[in-house]
Amino acid sequence: LLAPDGSVAQTIFAEMTALAVRSGAINLGQGFPDVDGPGYVKEAAKAAIDAGRNQYAPGDGVPELRRAVADHQRRHYGLDVDPDTEVLVTTGATEALTASILALAGPGDEVITLEPFYDSHAAAVAMSGATHVPVPLTTDDLRLDADALRAAVSPRTRMIVVNTPHNPTGTVLTRAELEQVAAVAREADAIVLTDEVYEHLVFDDAAHVPLATLPGMADRTLTVSSSGKTFSLTGWKVGWVHGPAHLVTAVRTVKQFLSYSSGAPFQPAIAAALADDETPRALAASLASRRDLLCDGLAAAGFDVVVPQGTYFVIADGARLGFDDGHDLCYRLPELAGVVAVPVSAFCRAGSATSDALRSRVRFTFVKREDVLRDAVGRLARLA
Ligand code: PMP
Ligand code: GLN
């Protein structure tokens, strides 16, 4: 977690957002929407503040939000979740992930992630003292390599971290791919921690399959999600984790000493939002067309893109434009084109084979207004 000179390393998202602010470039780096979620959800939070819900919420979350999470999982996926013992409300998915890893993995354990991985997964493994074992996705189409996953398992494998829809690639794992993960987890007797924050942001005919719905997996799976992406309220940091009571109890024990409890007035507002299936459906449809706009623009500018099936993100390869190093490209892009992106190497272990293989790739977000994306695409055309 420390930079080589001993200073505290900033996340790549903070670093690139600061670069966008400094340079005045369009920020297609950090993934956050430039249009807020629904007004009625904001009004519900204001009403909760006015109603005096301003002191500590219960440590495991307000009952109506735990019930709303359980209802959501039943309605969308047929999962049977007990809101009293199997759900924990957290400060964003980030806290759910970190508390889960700290609770269940430690020195001597190995934690597998797919590489590239979301940065906080690796940071949490490092904080836990466990050994991080990254398993590369295939480099051509950025999908699960089941043989590589199987080869990474050892008697010390404690946990497999999955993220679908996947940041930074936009890959949505198919049921068949998830069955391969599940088979490996069962054989290794490993816990699965699945990060499903983009569960509703899937495009075309891709479908989100929660790992916990696969046969025999509910008992060994912790499922993490958050309202940030689903309701375009990333700053509210209302997340949750659910799973079998014994695992959730362990996570709750750690969460007590990370934050004790999470933002009280936001919780009833998100409980109300979780009954709304239309807002995320409309967001996914509009994101799919914004994805097309950005992918077409990147291709026209000379990038090679792997069209994503979900999330906020697309990965583009700058090699054909003569940019072999994505990190370098991201630092030059504000000056060359007035746009900010994030290098894919930031989602890889420093110096890993995957980092090398994906060296010329950069990640752009398309969760911006259409006019902003049109402006960005126009600027990127300068590179061609
Ligand atoms: N996991 C993934 C894959 C993410 O992309 C993000 C946020 N961008 C998070 C977790 C964190 O979610 P939250 O803001 O709810 O903590
Ligand atoms: N998850 C967002 C992204 O991938 C950013 C969140 C953050 O800044 N930590 O861009």
ipTM, 2 decimals?
A: 0.97
Tell me the pLDDT band of 9, cut-offs 50, 70 and 90: confident
CA of 200 to the centre of ligand 1 (A): 14
Ligand 2 lined by 13 (C-beta under 6 Å): yes
Distance 134 CA to ligand 2 centre (A): 20
Q: What is the CATH number of domain 12-30+279-383?
A: 3.90.1150.10
Mutate to test the pocket of ligand 2, among 21, 32, 201 (most ligand atoms within 8 A of CB): 32
Ligand 2 and 268: CB distance under 6 A:
no
Ligand 2 neighbourhood includes 31 CB (under 6 angstroms): yes
Which of 27, 30, 97, 362 has most ligand 2 atoms within 8 Å of CB, for mutation?
30
User: Distance, CA 376 to ligand 1 centroid (Å)?
Assistant: 24
User: How far is ligand 1, taken at its centre, from the CA of residue 229, in Å?
Assistant: 8
Q: 91, 264 in Cβ contact below 8 A?
A: no
- Rounded to two decimals, the pTM is 0.97
The number of the ligand 1 atom at minimal distance from the alpha carbon of 312 is 5
Compute, in angstroms, the gap from residue 231 CA to the centroid of ligand 2: 15
Cβ atoms within 10 Å, residue 32: 18
**Residues pairing with 221 in the sheet:** 192
Q: Which amino acid is at 338?
A: G
Per DSSP, 24 falls in state T
* CATH code for the domain defined by 39-273: 3.40.640.10
Report the pLDDT averaged over residues 65-69: 98
Mean pLDDT of all residues in 227-232: 98
Confidence of residue 3 (pLDDT cuts 50, 70, 90): low
In a 10 Å sphere around its CB, with 0-12 CB exposed, 13-18 middle and 19+ buried, how is residue 1 labelled? exposed
Which is the closest atom of ligand 2 to the Cα of 168? 4
77 CB under 6 A from ligand 2? no
How confident is the model over 57-66, as pLDDT tens digits?
A: 999 999 999 9
Q: What is the mean pLDDT of the chain?
A: 96
Residues with CB under 6 A from ligand 1: 31, 92-94, 118, 163, 167, 195, 197, 226, 228, 234, 237, 239
pLDDT tens profile 163-208: 999 999 999 999 999 999 999 999 999 999 999 999 999 999 999 9
Domain ranges of the chain: 12-30+279-383, 39-273
- Residues 32 and 279: their CA atoms lie apart, in Å, by 16
Can you tell me which residue has the tokens 């291709």? 299
Mutate to test the pocket of ligand 1, among 32, 117, 120 (most ligand atoms within 8 A of CB): 120
Contact by Cβ (8 Å): 66, 202: no
pLDDT recorded at residue 318: 97
Judge whether residue 2 has pLDDT over 80. Answer: no
Under 8 Å between Cβ of 311 and 198: yes
